[in-house]
Amino acid sequence: MAASTLLRLLSPSAPNLHDPSTRIHTSLLAWPTRRRRFLAARCSLSSPLPPPSSPLEFPLLPFQPAEVLIPSECKTLHLYEARYLALLEEALYRRQNSLVHFVLDPVLSSSSKDSFAVRYGCLVQIESVQKMDFGALVSIRGVCRVNIKNLLQMEPYMRGDVSPMMDRSSDDIDLGVRISRLRESMCNLHSLQMKLRVPEDEPLQTNIKSSLSWSEKEIFEGYDEKFIPGLPERLSFAAYQSVSGMSDAELLTLQKYKIKAMDSTDTLERLNSGIEYIEHNIGMIAARLAIQNI
């Protein structure tokens, strides 16, 4: 099976780049049993770091490479197919409101056979479920990068053994200074965004404030403690959120920052990159405000 064909099966419709906080999750697993068995046999389960603790079992939800989700990020899914509603039920009632969002990525190979890698796994917490006439709207929040150790099940939906992945420990004296600057910059960006006039059909962008508030929580009730990164690591991811009026090119740049953040194991490096990204967006929003006020 060609890699392009598999990706079309994973996501029959293109994502809406103008609304990155909302994704419509369609028939990702609705391909024949023979193909699912092929995928289970050929998936290359790899991660940049070995798992630090014993794995736990979670339901798994696959996405395209353009759909990387990071810790602290919020996303809304529309689940309506029977297999996904069964996955949701397991996540809600048997997995502490948790499931794993991951990217299924084709791997270039010199051989004539296709292979695929499971990348950028992120344990997510279900924050709310809104029942609809057709399925449910599910709001999820990224919690922790994870390593998918083993695929245990492909039908009726994926399930696997998962271990948390954390940054290397750091006692760098600059860490506190950089955290303070990141917090201040994120608050400034949010304040500027609230001054922008946006079209009535465009949702109010509060991603920055929401991610910062989640990252600064002191108590995580209902979460498995071993999947909760420390405060510096949580904050180091919070900067990489969409802001009002982003172009396709700017959303692509954000995606590159998110992938870099997921690949890094250095909290200070990620904090510095986040500050750079936030301050760039402050300049962008300030310029738009100046034009708006002319």
Instruction: Please determine, for residue 78, whether its predicted confidence score (pLDDT) is greater than 50.
Output: yes
Summarize pLDDT for 129-188 with one digit per residue, the tens. 999 999 999 999 999 999 999 989 889 999 999 999 999 877 778 899 999 999 999 999
Contacts of 42 (CB under 8 A, 6+ apart): 113, 114, 115, 116
Contacts of 263 (CB under 8 A, 6+ apart): 48
pLDDT at 28: 38
Instruction: Please determine, for residue 246, whether its predicted confidence score (pLDDT) is greater than 70.
Output: yes
- Give the integer Cα–Cα distance in Å for 93 and 102: 21
- Give the residue from 148, 128, 146 showing the smallest Cα distance to 74: 128
Summarize pLDDT for 194-229 with one digit per residue, the tens. 888 776 666 556 889 999 999 999 888 878 889 999
* Lowest-confidence segment of 25-29, 181-185, 234-238, 273-277 by average pLDDT: 25-29
- What the block records as the tokens of 190 is 């949010």
Beta bridge partners of 75: 140
Residue 113 binned pLDDT confidence (cut-offs 50, 70, 90): low
Contacts of 72 (CB under 8 A, 6+ apart): 141, 142, 211, 214, 215, 234, 237, 238
Instruction: Please determine, for residue 12, whether its predicted confidence score (pLDDT) is greater than 80.
Output: no
Residue 50 binned pLDDT confidence (cut-offs 50, 70, 90): very low
Going through the chain in order, the beta strands assigned E by DSSP cover 22-23, 43-45, 56-63, 74-79, 98-107, 115-131, 136-153, 158-164
Hunting for tokens 């197919």 — which residue is that?
81
- Give the residue from 226, 101, 100, 124 showing the smallest Cα distance to 165: 226
* DSSP class of 169: P
Instruction: Please determine, for residue 53, whether its predicted confidence score (pLDDT) is greater than 60.
Output: no
Phi, psi of 110 (to 5 degrees): -75, -20
- Radius of gyration (C-alpha) of the chain in whole angstroms: 19
- What the block records as the tokens of 278 is 């936030």
Summarize pLDDT for 14-25 with one digit per residue, the tens. 333 333 333 333
Q: Is 29 exposed, middle or buried (0-12, 13-18, 19+ CB in 10 A)?
A: buried
pLDDT at 244: 80
- What the block records as the tokens of 198 is 């946006």
Average predicted confidence (pLDDT) for the chain = 80
- What the block records as the tokens of 13 is 């419709």
- Give the integer Cα–Cα distance in Å for 211 and 170: 23
One-letter identity of residue 173:
I
Instruction: Measure CA of the first residue to CA of the last residue in the chain; give whole Å.
Output: 55
Contacts of 191 (CB under 8 A, 6+ apart): none
Mean pLDDT calculated for residue range 81-88: 94
